[in-house]
Structure 1
Amino acid sequence: MMATVDTDILIAAWRRILDGAEKPWVLFEHGTCVLLEEPTGAPAEQATEILREFGPVQVATSAGDFRVLELKNGEGWLVTSHHPDVVTFVATAEPDDPSHLAVGMLGRAKRDQDGTELRVAHVEDAP
């Protein structure tokens, strides 16, 4: 069984990860973050539209692809997607199996869930 990570921990993790990015970002309920490289209008609305299109997983398409990046601070991994600005955080406490395949599959599942439920947990506007 996988552990869940509360919203405050996710927000703090993404703030550390994106420190100095100076771009707005939107965190969704299960840990997927959309970094708005070209912000236009309300961040939550823009990020929701991006995640609606690029969040749901479609196996055997680029939407099923991912890459796992291990964070140097040991707090977890980032799981990329087929959209460069859509990334999911997986904390070290979450997966039962810490292999990159298992972490990637978990991150992809979390992105799929965020992309279908579309529940914004936090908006961080650019400074």
Structure 2
Amino acid sequence: MAGEDDEVQALVETYRKVLVGAHKSWALFAQGTCVILMDPKGDLAEQAKRILAEWGPVQAGTPSGDFEVVELEGGMGWVVTGHHPDVLNFVGADEVEAEEGEFLIGVVGRGCRETDAVSLRVVHVEDKRSA
């Protein structure tokens, strides 16, 4: 599907801009969750799946339900972080109005993380091990 490919490519370009450290390897999941691989080894998609399977599901009343919202410069959107420092979600300014508040932005990002933690469908891997 061309539309899906365009969306994936747009997210890849966004993460390339917002991630600090061009040397980092990472994996992108279907709903936009990014898992940064601080110690990349073996099959990076499988490594990212293991991390997200453990740290992605949301359980009410636990740290997995907590999130922080970081506004990105230039009005492009927000990054939503959770209880694992290397798992994050981008929420675009076209998805949520800033006036709706950080809580809604965070819930959108957390919901995407939860969906990705169930499906575990990797759509892109950025392998920087040899770079």
What is aligned with 1:24?
25
| Unpaired stretches in structure 2, ≥5 consecutive residues | none
What is aligned with 2:123?
121
TM-score by length of 1: 0.91
What is aligned with 2:7?
6
Number of aligned pairs? 124
The alignment yields a C-alpha RMSD, in angstroms, of: 1.7
TM-score by length of 2: 0.88
- Once the two structures are superposed, the pairs formed by residues 53-92 of structure 1 within 5 Å of their partners are 53-92=54-93
Q: Does 1:100 align with 2:110?
A: no
Deviates more, 1:27-36 or 1:15-24: 15-24
* Identity among equivalent pairs (%): 48
Shift of 1:32: 0.5
Counterpart code for 1:107 = G
Shift of 1:19: 5.4
- Deviations along 1:70-96, one digit per CA (max 9) or x if unpaired, are 001211100001011000010100125
Write the distance in 2 (CA, Å) between the matches of 1:87 and 1:9: 16
Counterpart code for 2:14 = A
- Once the two structures are superposed, the pairs formed by residues 36-51 of structure 1 within 5 Å of their partners are 36-51=37-52
Write the distance in 2 (CA, Å) between the matches of 1:17 and 1:57: 24
| Unpaired stretches in structure 1, ≥5 consecutive residues | none
- Deviations along 1:23-61, one digit per CA (max 9) or x if unpaired, are 110000111100001112111010000000111111110
Structure with the higher fraction of residues in helix conformation = 2
